């Protein structure tokens, strides 16, 4: 990994090529942020009339420690100098303004990691934010991360998968909001006075995704008695190799949200839709990454084969049995992929063992991708409600709806005088329940999945040792 060269200060020697997390100012900053976090309300403000509220002077001292630590660490990261200057100004402004709802728009706009996509480049990030699939409140978080941007990936982005905002990243260290299931750093999670017209970056932690994938896949393979080909077994056992697969998968997935025949884009345009529409969109993006991975493998990229099995295993083994069942659209996509492959005889559950037809898996998975793409293309000419029903019909070909579903009974069971967004209320929280296969698998894997909370490559290695 590339290290950042450090200038020697007038007041003392700083070892060259120091990691941010090895600098004595990092634990000071981290501890100060952890002191502030419990004082904050859901919106990020500090209510000094609340029970267990700090003395305002204590809050000011904690913010001052954060500021001092940022200023001490910033010379290690000259590429982030403008961001750190704006960050210090926003921190002081929050304190001087009485610790009201934080507004870190100026520092958000100054943080431009996608402008310096260099493999191994470190960033120190401090923001009031919620962490997706983690902490829902806008507490302060401090994260040290590294860019994952190998030459082969940069070349693919430049020549085949243009995605100038995407940042592959991995953890160095983090505060409590990331000791969770969150594996992303997104600008829209940060507390600001107004949303920018457009965001200029988005980061996904491939090391957490890879470590979680490896642990759950190993458990699922053992539970299901699945025999893996040697190359796939080697991939699952190799953290660095899995990270490379996930960063490629994520880059292609991310750009797919805005590519193709799109009757709608539920994540870019704020719309209220039935959750199977979000599930199909996420699955479409994953299956597009799978389809491109098949092409990449044929073109001589070894990461292409790894992406295919990362998609298959994460989607089939982890997604359906992770999280609760309330509008779990990622779980739905995993259920649909497994059911489609099962009904097309690519996966078989016989004698309490799972088998996979490795030769036919790419062809049939691409076939499901084609069906979803055809649904989208046809949807361009359909009214919204008709399109929702067509999507429901596609899903229900392979997944049994809940017997009490009104949507399963068809349009005559719904009040069609209501606008479509109101009919979403008639969708059951678990419209497509788990099959008996997945109910049993969920019981076997729940402890393993729970143990991946906060996982990183380093923590996974410590547990393995």
Please report the DSSP string for 64-86 in residue order. HHHHHHHHHHGGG-GGGHHHHHH
* 174: β partners: 143
Q: Based on the number of CB atoms within 10 Å of its own CB, is 300 exposed (0-12), middle (13-18) or buried (19 or more)?
A: exposed
Q: What is the pLDDT of residue 267?
A: 58
Q: What is the pLDDT of residue 263?
A: 86
Looking at the predicted structure, is the pLDDT value of residue 7 above 50? no
Q: Based on the number of CB atoms within 10 Å of its own CB, is 292 exposed (0-12), middle (13-18) or buried (19 or more)?
A: buried
Q: What is the pLDDT of residue 3?
A: 39
Q: What is the pLDDT of residue 270?
A: 66
Q: Are residues 344 and 364 in contact, defined by beta-carbon separation less than 8 angstroms?
A: yes
Looking at the predicted structure, is the pLDDT value of residue 353 above 50? yes
Please report where in the chains the tokens 């870190």 appear, as a residue.
104
Return d(Cα 14, Cα 46) in angstroms, integer.
36
Q: Are residues 30 and 142 in contact, defined by beta-carbon separation less than 8 angstroms?
A: yes
Looking at the predicted structure, is the pLDDT value of residue 464 above 70? no
Return d(Cα 413, Cα 298) in angstroms, integer.
49
Angle at 296 between CA 231 and CA 220, to 5 degrees: 40
Looking at the predicted structure, is the pLDDT value of residue 17 above 60? no
Looking at the predicted structure, is the pLDDT value of residue 1 above 50? no
Between residues 51 and 187, the one the model is more confident about: 187
* pLDDT grade for 271, boundaries at 50, 70 and 90: confident
Q: Are residues 40 and 46 in contact, defined by beta-carbon separation less than 8 angstroms?
A: yes
* 126: β partners: 142
* pLDDT grade for 12, boundaries at 50, 70 and 90: very low
pTM of the model: 0.93
Q: What is the pLDDT of residue 10?
A: 36
* pLDDT grade for 2, boundaries at 50, 70 and 90: very low
Between residues 316 and 198, the one the model is more confident about: 316
Residues in the chain: 465
Residue 386, classed as helix, strand or coil, is helix
**How do residues 63-122 score in pLDDT, each as one tens digit?**
999 999 999 999 999 999 999 999 999 999 999 999 999 999 999 999 999 999 999 999
Q: Are residues 148 and 168 in contact, defined by beta-carbon separation less than 8 angstroms?
A: yes
Smallest Cα–Cα separation from 255: which of 178, 166, 193, 192? 166
Region 355-359: mean pLDDT is 97
The DSSP letter of residue 398 is T
**How do residues 426-461 score in pLDDT, each as one tens digit?**
999 999 999 999 999 999 999 999 999 999 988 877
Q: Are residues 134 and 189 in contact, defined by beta-carbon separation less than 8 angstroms?
A: no
Tally of CB atoms within 10 A around 363 = 12
- Cα–Cα separations (whole angstroms), residue 307 to 222, 242, 301, 431: 21, 8, 10, 30
**How do residues 373-382 score in pLDDT, each as one tens digit?**
999 999 999 9
**How do residues 394-433 score in pLDDT, each as one tens digit?**
999 999 999 999 999 999 999 999 999 999 999 999 999 9
Q: What is the pLDDT of residue 429?
A: 97
Q: Where are the domains of the chain?
A: 20-200, 208-464
Strand order in the sheet with 184-185: 122-129, 139-147, 166-174, 202-205, 184-185
Mean pLDDT of the chain: 94
Region 251-265: mean pLDDT is 89
Looking at the predicted structure, is the pLDDT value of residue 137 above 50? yes
The DSSP letter of residue 316 is I
């Amino acid at each position: 990994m590339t290290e950042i060269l450090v200038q020697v200060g007038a007041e003392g020697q700083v070892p060259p090529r120091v990691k941010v997390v090895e600098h004595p100012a990092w634990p000071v900053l981290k501890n100060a942020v952890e002191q502030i976090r419990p004082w904050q309300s859901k919106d990020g403000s500090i209510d000094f009339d609340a029970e267990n509220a700090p003395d305002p002077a204590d809050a000011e001292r904690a913010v001052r420690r954060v500021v001092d630590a940022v200023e001490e660490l910033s010379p290690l990261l000259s590429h982030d100098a403008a961001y750190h200057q704006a960050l210090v100004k926003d921190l002081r402004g929050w304190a001087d303004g009485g610790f009201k709802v934080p507004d870190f728009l100026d520092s958000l706009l100054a943080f431009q990691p996608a402008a310096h996509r260099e493999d191994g480049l470190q960033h120190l990030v401090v923001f009031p934010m919620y962490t997706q699939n983690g902490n829902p409140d806008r507490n302060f978080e401090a994260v040290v991360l590294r860019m994952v941007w190998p030459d082969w990936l940069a070349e693919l982005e430049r020549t085949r998968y243009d995605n100038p905002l995407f940042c592959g990243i991995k953890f160095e260290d983090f505060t409590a909001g990331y000791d969770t299931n969150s594996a992303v750093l997104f600008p829209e999670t940060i507390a600001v006075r107004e949303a920018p017209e457009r965001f200029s970056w988005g980061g996904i932690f491939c090391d957490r995704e890879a470590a979680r994938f490896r642990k759950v896949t190993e458990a699922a393979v053992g539970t299901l008695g699945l025999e893996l080909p040697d190359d796939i077994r080697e991939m699952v056992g190799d953290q660095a190799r899995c990270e490379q697969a996930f960063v490629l998968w994520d880059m292609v997935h991310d750009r797919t949200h805005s590519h193709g025949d799109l009757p709608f884009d539920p994540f870019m345009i704020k719309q209220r839709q039935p959750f199977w529409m979000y599930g199909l969109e996420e699955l479409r993006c994953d299956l597009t990454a799978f389809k491109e991975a098949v092409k990449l493998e044929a073109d001589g990229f070894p990461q292409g084969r790894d992406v295919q099995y990362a998609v298959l295993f994460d989607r089939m083994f982890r997604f359906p049995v992770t999280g609760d069942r309330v509008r779990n659209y990622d779980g739905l996509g995993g259920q649909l992929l497994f059911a489609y492959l099962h009904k097309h005889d690519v996966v078989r559950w016989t004698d309490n063992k799972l088998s996979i037809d490795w030769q036919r898996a790419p062809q049939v998975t691409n076939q499901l991708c084609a069906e979803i793409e055809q649904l989208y293309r046809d949807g361009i000419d359909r009214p919204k409600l008709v399109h929702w029903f067509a999507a429901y019909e596609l899903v229900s070909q392979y997944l049994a709806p809940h017997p009490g579903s009104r949507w399963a009974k068809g349009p005559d069971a719904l009040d069609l005088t209501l606008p479509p967004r109101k009919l979403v209320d008639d969708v059951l929280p678990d419209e497509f329940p788990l099959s008996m296969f997945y109910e049993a698998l969920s019981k076997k894997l729940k402890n393993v999945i729970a143990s991946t909370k906060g996982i990183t490559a380093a923590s996974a290695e410590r547990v393995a040792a």
